[in-house]
Amino acid sequence: MEQAGEGFSNEQVDPSTLPDFERVELTPVAGAYIHWAQITQSAFWLLLGVAALIATKLPFLPLDGLWWLPLPPVAIAAIASVYARLDARFRAWALREHDLVYRHGVIWRKTVIVPFSRIQHVEALHGPLERYLGLMRVKCFTAGGMSADLTVKGLDRDSARRVRQYLLEQIAETADGGVESSVVTGEEGPSRDLD
């Protein structure tokens, strides 16, 4: 729907002719993502298991007979590790001419599509472990609150940089009216000059 004005048209669109995001061939995340996901999701429980094991060996703690204490956290760590593996298997992404498609989730499988013309700015970031494993995340900010931001995890560093560069170019192109759209995209909030 377009506001009444010059160039207004309202022709019928056949939904079957629209580009289908389901036909896109998605690229799986980098192989190192499995290690990153396994480590980050099970590290806490493994540490808890080790702490519980040490606690049962300490003479001044009345934990005699509780030899099984480290088992629950270790079991959770094992489940988290399996879950991380499945998560990595389903996680994939793709770039189309005008949008970014990202699929993730094991039980709730979500496919997110973000048009370039709606991205306000892009961030590429990596933590110490990601740096070590050669991974990078790309975060796309759109309007609609914090929950509207999309983080594409599991890209290798080169892909992430290329994706970020591509997104920035596309944002600039759409902001210049390179596609048919966009006048105010890419703007940030109100400018503030703080003394």
Partner 1 sequence: MTSIDLNAWQRLAPMALLFLIINGGAKFIRENLYAFAGAGAGFAFLDRLGLREFLLGGLVALLVAVLVAIIYHRRFRFRIEGDAMRVRQGLIENKDLRIRFARIQNVGLSQPIYFRPFGLVRFTLETPGAESTEVALPGISRELALALRDHIARAGGGVAPAADDDTGQDPAASADDRREGPDDSTPLHVPGNFRLFLHGLVSNQVWLIAGVAAWLAGTFRERIEQWVDATGVSLVVQRTLELGWTGAIGLVGSLVVLLFALSGVLSLVRFHGFDLRDLGDRVLAVGGLLDRREQNIRREKLTGLTLCQTALGRLIGQWYLIGKQASSKEFEMDPSSGQFLVPGMRRDDLVLVGRLMPGFVVPDSLHPISRRFRTLFWTRISAVVLFLAGLAWWFLPDLRLLVAAALAVLLVVLWAVHRSWRCWGWRVDDGVCWVQQGLIGLQRDAFDLALTQQATVVRTPYFRRHGLASVRLVLPHGQVTVPFLAHEDAVALANRAIHAAETARFHRV
Tell me how many degrees the CA angle 11-14-16 measures, rounded to the nearest 5. 160
- Exactly one of 26, 150, 156, 161 binds partner 1 (CB under 8 A); that residue is 150
CB of 60 to partner 1, least distance (A): 41
Tell me how many degrees the CA angle 143-163-151 measures, rounded to the nearest 5. 45
Tell me how many degrees the CA angle 110-91-100 measures, rounded to the nearest 5. 70
* Site track 25-64 with partner 1 (rule: CB under 8 A), x = hit: ----------------------------------------
Are residues 63 and 55 in contact, defined by beta-carbon separation less than 8 angstroms?
yes
CB of 25 to partner 1, least distance (A): 16
**Amino acid present at 166:** Y
- Exactly one of 143, 158, 165, 172 binds partner 1 (CB under 8 A); that residue is 143
The residue range among 65-73, 77-85, 112-120, 152-160 that interacts with partner 1, by the rule CB under 8 A, is 112-120
The reply on whether position 22 binds partner 1 by CB under 8 A is: yes
Nearer to partner 1, 41 or 185 (CB): 185
> Please, what sign has the CA dihedral across residues 35, 36, 42, 48?
positive
Q: What is the dihedral of CA 48, 51, 55, 57, to 10 degrees?
A: 120
| Interaction site with partner 1 (CB under 8 A) | 1-4, 7, 10, 13, 15, 18-22, 98-99, 105, 107-118, 142-148, 150, 179-185, 187-195
